């Protein structure tokens, strides 16, 4: 994980406004959200895993599943998830297990990030800053 300094850090935004701005740019709300925190993820690459620019946020007014929620942005960062290839040797089988737990454990959830992805993340973050500051 490589943190990227940003003028957006610690700023409050309507989650709706963030979604209107970031989703057309290719961001999605990451699957690891709960009712008071989450992140916007931009998938930059698939070299030896998946590389993302992640912009974390935390609810400061309301809950994430309620209308009008306001969030505070955290420090953006670039990360690389390195996943197993092939069959998961430790996997448990069964219909119920397969319905609940479909994914293998990452080999390294915080893998080495190549410089080119850090540079791409910095450029993309500049575009995000410009788009959000114009609102």
pLDDT-derived band at 34 (thresholds 50, 70, 90) equals confident
Domain assignment of residue 10, given as a range? 1-82
User: The CATH number of the domain where 73 resides is what?
Assistant: 3.30.310.100
User: What's the mean pLDDT in 105-132?
Assistant: 85
More confident residue, 96 or 14: 14
**Do the domain assignments include residue 129?**
no
Which range is least confidently modeled, 29-38, 50-59, 112-121?
Answer: 29-38
Nearest one of 119, 120, 113, 22 to 71, comparing CA atoms: 22
**Do the domain assignments include residue 36?**
yes
The answer to whether residues 54 and 76 touch, using CB atoms and an 8 Å cutoff, is yes
**Do the domain assignments include residue 51?**
yes
**Do the domain assignments include residue 64?**
yes
Name the domain count of the chain: 1
b/e string for 62-85 if b means 16 or more Cβ within 10 A?
Answer: bebeeeebebbbbebbbbbebeee
Torsion 127-129-134-135 (CA) sign: positive
More confident residue, 40 or 100: 40
The distance in angstroms from the start CA to the end CA of the chain is: 29
The size of the chain, in residues, is 135
**Do the domain assignments include residue 6?**
yes
**Do the domain assignments include residue 59?**
yes
**Do the domain assignments include residue 115?**
no
**Do the domain assignments include residue 122?**
no
53-108: pLDDT as tens digits: 999 999 999 998 889 999 999 999 999 877 665 555 555 555 555 444 445 555 55
Q: What gap in Å lies between CA 106 and CA 53, rounded to an integer?
A: 18
- Residue 61 region, left (φ>0) first, then alpha (ψ -120 to 50), else beta? beta
Enter the pTM of the model: 0.79
pLDDT-derived band at 130 (thresholds 50, 70, 90) equals very high
User: What's the mean pLDDT in 114-127?
Assistant: 96
């Amino acid at each position: 994980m490589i943190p990227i300094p940003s003028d957006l850090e610690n700023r409050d935004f309507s989650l709706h406004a963030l979604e209107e701005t970031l989703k057309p740019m290719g961001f999605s709300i990451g699957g690891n959200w709960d009712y008071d925190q989450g992140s916007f993820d931009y998938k930059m690459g698939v070299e030896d895993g998946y590389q993302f620019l992640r912009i974390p946020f935390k609810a400061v007014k309301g809950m994430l599943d309620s209308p009008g929620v306001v969030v505070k942005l955290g420090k953006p960062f670039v990360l690389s998830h390195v996943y197993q290839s092939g069959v998961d040797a430790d996997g448990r089988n069964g219909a119920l297990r397969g319905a609940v737990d479909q994914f293998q454990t990452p080999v390294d959830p915080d893998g080495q990030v190549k410089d080119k992805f850090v540079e791409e993340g910095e450029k993309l973050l500049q575009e995000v800053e410009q788009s959000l500051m114009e609102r």
